[in-house]
Amino acid sequence: MFIEVKGAKKIYGKGESEVRALDGASLSLEEGGLYVILGPSGSGKSTLLNMLGGLDHLDGGNLEIGGVKVSGMSDKQLVEYRRSDVGFVFQFYNLIPDLTVRENIQVVADITKEPLNVDEVMEAVDVKKYEHHFPSELSGGQQQRVSIARAIVKNPKILLCDELTGALDSKSAKTVLKFVESVNRKFHTTVIIITHNEAIAQMADRIIRIKDGQVSSNEANPAKRAAKDVEL
Amino acid sequence: MTLRKRYLRNLKKHLSFYVCTILLTAMVVVLYLCFAAASVVVMQELKNFYRDYKAEDAQFRTATELAEEDVKSLEEKFWILLERQSYVDLEEEQYTVRVLSPTEKTDLYQISGERDLEKDGEILLNTGFMRGNQIREGDEIRLGDRGFSVAGDFERPDYLFTIRETTDTFAMTKEFGLAEVSEADYDALEKSYGASGEYYAILYQGADEAEVRKYINEKYKMLSYLGADANSRLSTPEVTVEEASKYMDSIVVLLVIFITLIIAVVLGRRIQNDRRQIGVLIALGYRKRELARHYAFYGLLPGLLGGLLGLGFSILFAQRLISVLFYKFEPLPVAYKVKPSDGVLAVLVPAILYTLTVYLSAKKVMRTDVITMISGRKSIKEAFSMRMKRSRLSVRSKFRLRQIFGKPGRSLIVIIGLAFGGMLYAFCACCVDSMDTYVKSVVDQIGKFEYEYFLKLPRTGEPEEGSPMLGMVYEVKDSDDVIMLLGTDDGRYISFSDEEGNPVPYDPEKCYLTSMASVAFGVKAGESIIFFDPISLEEHSVTIEAVLENDAQSAIYCSREKAGEIMGVPGECYNVILSETTLSFEKDELLRTVSKKDLADQINEVKVNMENMMGMLNIFSILICVIVVYVMVNVLVSESASSVSMLKVLGYRNREINGMVLNVYHFLIPVAILLSLVLGVEGTRMVFTKNVATYKTYLEALIYPASVLKLVLLVVVSYGISLMLLRGKIRKVSMVESLKDNRE
């Protein structure tokens, strides 16, 4: 398995205010798939994503990606892991406001050993025409496409998308999903989308459901649809 | 209101900022209460002490002794207080003690210890001498052939500056002491050893001074007259307090302006960064007025806490701090306590200023429409800046350039912070360096002689060695200062050059004024100066041909003949001899001897005063520099938190993030240092201009390269320490938390 999570635990707070964001979650996923993790608010899906992306440490359990044990990595090792293997797309885009579209993508290419061509990536997500715009001059959908471009320019092994359409209208959301799908196909990138939007699950190879910090189901999606056919 | 719960949370969240702001405010309050306000109070208390303990208005000697009846008749005639005073100097192995005659009408003493003299055989000593020699109450002290039991210590208004001779510049507290004994003991001492000096002390109490002096001179022939303003024992404490007051006033005003500005800028930016929450609260139905009031509290808090902290510190330590400033005098007989009105002012002013600043910042933020505020977007104008479309620079370089030039407000606060931090130090260094340069140049201006001998009686003809001069001290019309009239024929030891350094041809028919006198009395070349004989009060006027560069002495130079005319003695007389070598005289021939070194020491004392005052300020300046720089750099990190967080998520190493976010401001340091230098030097120039009357010269403001180097080090080290501390903060910036909050 490409991604192997076993008994993952993450606890925030202490005593009465203790919150078990992950409470023994286990999950196995193959390389190159497009996965959707579903769950209600507070179920622990964002925490799981943070762990997969090396943004935080587990309090218990194991996490291996591509045969490399991510849990137990030091902060410095996590930096290197994020630098080479992970791409992030966030709900609120999180572009760097002081950089133009091209520069927001280039800033990642600069620290990547073998980045993809920035122009090609921009064209792939159709933002080339805005290359000299600052984020504040773009719409939400446009910003999210830039965010995808930024994530994929390093040609990551995993693309992690946190509620990537949460701030978009349905038309923009569908466009963004199409780009994510194309990245998955074109670059064979493992894509994990976390969302509470059930409709997005239609395009997944597998649908993982999380509840109370545990994986309640991990099932193949026999009725997988293309992003363009997803009914949002 | 639930909203108020944010106060404590905000305080915890930005604890380091609030701690720094509170400390800065407290320091300004301490400077104000312990120095600026204290100087005013000390001055007032000093005047009260002089008044209550009947400090003399003048002292004089007469050729004909005044009998008790004469004194009584003079007092009744003019409603004055007049008292014969004398002293006996008893020289012991390690020190000299001046036993002062008991006084009843003038120059009364105040007991500093527990008790007064109660019986014969007891002695009171001045506080400085007791401390210097570790003498305690109840100790025995032997003076001459008599033993005394120390009853305690005392202060006298005419000896707060305990110099042996009025021409001395240092109070040697360990080597020279004062004593009060019972009348019987004093009489016995005077009988055994003879009076070392005697004079009449006078208090005019509103009587016409000129009329009294004229009458006494006519009837009893005055030999000397020394007004309180010309008596350094009486005038030095007042002048020093006044000087400190002027300096501290200027500095505190500057500090209040700059620190308020800095805190206003920082708090203002904090409000700016809170605009999304403000927008949300408006959308929820809050009135803008309510929110402005809510945010105003963020300013009130550090202002009030800082003010209270400073007030508390001042109440505890004001007396100690102020005594450090006036270390060269006897402990001033002033129990300085913070005046309630000053305390209230010190607490309220920062609180009001900060509150107002934040209130106005909040109002300004709320001028933006609610949707823009909620979106958290910045203005389009800012977003469009520094596009650098065709630039071939790397992304990191563009990022750095935009950090600096794309956000002028932020860069400005870094520059202001660094510049202000350094400014106070530059100011202190500039004051000391300027004074040092002045002292060095002035010593050369004194003249080429090494010794100046003042004879008791004038002589005629020429001395065997040295250059003869005819000199006398005069009082100047409409001034408290005195001037020396010096007649010289060869002028060989006097530097005849103007203020530009050009030689001035000496014309024996003309009179020349030193630059110090020119400034002190406001007389320029071509104008006349009017002065009086201090004994006969006869008025004289001379026209000044040229002003000579001499900031060491206040004097008029002319020929001996002209000086003789004015003084009413033959022109061939002399009573002063200038010499390059030591000359020998009989003991009773000399009134006093002044060496060039003495004069240099005296001038140097001005520098020592300055160094002492600035040394104290320097401690504050270094602390302020470090705190201000830390606060400013802290703002940078806080404002860059989202970018830092994102760069971390993208896989940037901490070192790389520091390079992009923090280190970009390195090159602003030289700009800030330059600015702090300009501000420091200009500030000094301003203060020197204000103090022309005190120094009787226009001091040129300058700073030594070594001081500039120290300034650079101070700013760079402060900046470095701040960065080091803040790098830890960068490491702590949470990737998860700030991502949630970032919606640019």
| Mean pLDDT for back-to-back runs of 10 residues, chain A (232 residues) | 93 86 94 94 89 89 94 87 88 79 87 89 90 87 90 91 85 88 90 91 94 94 90 78
* Residue length of chain A: 232
Q: How many CB atoms within 10 Å of residue B524?
A: 11
Contact between A111 and B396 using a beta-carbon 8 Å cutoff:
no
Contact between A86 and B651 using a beta-carbon 8 Å cutoff:
yes
Distance from C-alpha of B662 to C-alpha of B656, rounded to nearest angstrom? 10
Gap between the terminal Cα atoms of chain A: 31
| Residues of chain A contacting residue B646, judged by C-beta atoms under 8 Å apart | 94-96
Contact between A79 and B643 using a beta-carbon 8 Å cutoff:
no
Q: Which of A53, A92, A137 has the CB atom closest to B742's CB atom?
A: A92
| Residues of chain A contacting residue B649, judged by C-beta atoms under 8 Å apart | 53, 55, 82, 88, 94
What 8-state DSSP symbol labels residue B84?
E
pLDDT band, very low/low/confident/very high, at B744 (cuts 50, 70, 90): very low
pLDDT band, very low/low/confident/very high, at B377 (cuts 50, 70, 90): low
Q: Among the ranges A227-231, B6-10, B719-723, which has the highest mean pLDDT value?
A: A227-231
Q: Is A229 in the B-facing interface, judged by CB distances under 8 Å?
A: no
Q: 3-class SS at A39?
A: coil
Tokens of B362: 């909040």
User: B280-332: per-residue pLDDT in tens?
Assistant: 777 667 788 888 888 888 888 889 999 999 999 998 888 887 777 777 778 77
Averaged confidence pLDDT in chain B = 84
Q: Which of A84, A94, A98 has the CB atom closest to B402's CB atom?
A: A98
% chain B with pLDDT above 90? 25
Q: Distances from the Cα of B731 to the Cαs of B254, B424, B429, B657, B734, in angstroms?
A: 36, 32, 37, 10, 8
Q: Is A35 in the B-facing interface, judged by CB distances under 8 Å?
A: no
Q: Are A155 and A187 in contact (CB under 8 A)?
A: yes
Q: Which H or E element spans position B334?
A: none
Instruction: Characterize the bridge pairing of strands B511-514 and B555-558.
Output: antiparallel
What 8-state DSSP symbol labels residue B377?
P
By C-alpha distance, the chain B residue nearest A84 is B651
Q: What is the mean pLDDT of residues B229-248?
A: 83
Give me the phi and psi of A194, to 5 degrees please. -105, 140
Q: Which of B22-31, B171-180, B580-589, B727-736 has the lowest mean pLDDT?
A: B727-736
Q: Distances from the Cα of B588 to the Cαs of A113, B182, B456, in angstroms?
A: 97, 31, 8
- Is pLDDT larger for residue B445 or for residue B188? B188
pLDDT at B508 (0 to 100): 84
Q: Which H or E element spans position A4?
A: strand A3-12
Contact between B378 and A56 using a beta-carbon 8 Å cutoff:
no
Distance from C-alpha of B699 to C-alpha of B696, rounded to nearest angstrom? 9
Domains, chain A: 31-58+67-229 (3.40.50.300)
Share of chain B residues as helix, strand and coil, in percent rounded to the nearest 5: 55, 15, 25
Tokens of B344: 């209230």
Task: State ipTM.
Answer: 0.71
Q: Distances from the Cα of B546 to the Cαs of A195, B497, B518, in angstroms?
A: 93, 9, 10
Cβ pairs bridging A and B (under 8 Å) = 95
Q: Which of A53, A79, A107 has the CB atom closest to B653's CB atom?
A: A79
Q: Which of B62-66, B96-100, B210-214, B416-420 has the lowest mean pLDDT?
A: B416-420
Smallest CA-to-CA distance from B346 within B318, B306, B319, B317 is with B306
pLDDT at B169 (0 to 100): 61
Report whether pLDDT(B608) > 80.
no
Report whether pLDDT(B94) > 90.
no
Distance from C-alpha of B431 to C-alpha of B680, rounded to nearest angstrom? 9
Report whether pLDDT(B634) > 80.
no
Q: Is B394 in the A-facing interface, judged by CB distances under 8 Å?
A: yes
Q: Is B215 in the A-facing interface, judged by CB distances under 8 Å?
A: no
| Residues of chain A contacting residue B372, judged by C-beta atoms under 8 Å apart | none
| Residues of chain A contacting residue B744, judged by C-beta atoms under 8 Å apart | 93-97, 135-136
Q: Are A101 and A119 in contact (CB under 8 A)?
A: no
| Residues of chain B contacting residue A97, judged by C-beta atoms under 8 Å apart | 378, 383, 642-643, 744
Smallest CA-to-CA distance from B136 within B144, B147, B122, B125 is with B125
Report whether pLDDT(B254) > 80.
no
Q: Which residues contact B554 (CB under 8 A, 6 or more apart)?
A: B481, B482, B483, B484, B514, B516, B517, B520, B696
Contact between B649 and A103 using a beta-carbon 8 Å cutoff:
no
In a mutational test of the B interface, the residue from A86, A94, A132 whose CB has the highest number of chain B CBs within 10 Å is: A94
By C-alpha distance, the chain B residue nearest A134 is B383
Per the rule left: phi > 0, alpha: psi between -120 and 50, beta: everything else, B526 is left
| Residues of chain A contacting residue B380, judged by C-beta atoms under 8 Å apart | 136-137
Q: If you search the block for the tokens 């400033």, which residue do you land on? A: B325
pLDDT at B462 (0 to 100): 84
Q: Which of A1-10, A66-75, B359-368, B598-607 has the lowest mean pLDDT?
A: B598-607
| Residues of chain A contacting residue B643, judged by C-beta atoms under 8 Å apart | 96-98
pLDDT at B312 (0 to 100): 93
- Is pLDDT larger for residue B507 or for residue B335? B507
pLDDT at B743 (0 to 100): 44
Q: Is A157 in the B-facing interface, judged by CB distances under 8 Å?
A: no
* Residue length of chain B: 744
Q: Is A110 in the B-facing interface, judged by CB distances under 8 Å?
A: yes
pLDDT at A224 (0 to 100): 92
For B191-348, strand residue ranges (E) read 197-203, 222-227
Q: Where are the domains of chain B?
A: 1-56+234-376, 86-199, 378-437+605-744, 451-581
pLDDT at B383 (0 to 100): 47
Q: Is B412 in the A-facing interface, judged by CB distances under 8 Å?
A: no
Contact between B646 and A94 using a beta-carbon 8 Å cutoff:
yes
Distance from C-alpha of B452 to C-alpha of B555, rounded to nearest angstrom? 14
Q: Are A62 and A8 in contact (CB under 8 A)?
A: yes
Distance from C-alpha of B221 to C-alpha of B238, rounded to nearest angstrom? 31
Report whether pLDDT(B333) > 80.
no
Distance from C-alpha of B141 to C-alpha of B149, rounded to nearest angstrom? 6
Contact between B389 and A96 using a beta-carbon 8 Å cutoff:
no
Instruction: Characterize the bridge pairing of strands B539-548 and B528-532.
Output: antiparallel
| Residues of chain A contacting residue B403, judged by C-beta atoms under 8 Å apart | 98
Q: Are B473 and B222 in contact (CB under 8 A)?
A: no
What 8-state DSSP symbol labels residue A17?
G
Q: If you search the block for the tokens 């010309």, which residue do you land on? A: B230
Distance from C-alpha of B117 to C-alpha of B134, rounded to nearest angstrom? 20
For B169-255, strand residue ranges (E) read 176-181, 197-203, 222-227
Give me the phi and psi of B703, to 5 degrees please. -135, 140
Q: Which of B216-220, B251-255, B313-317, B648-652 has the lowest mean pLDDT?
A: B251-255
Contact between A103 and B395 using a beta-carbon 8 Å cutoff:
yes
Distance from C-alpha of B559 to C-alpha of A9, rounded to nearest angstrom? 103
Contact between A82 and B649 using a beta-carbon 8 Å cutoff:
yes
pLDDT at B375 (0 to 100): 64
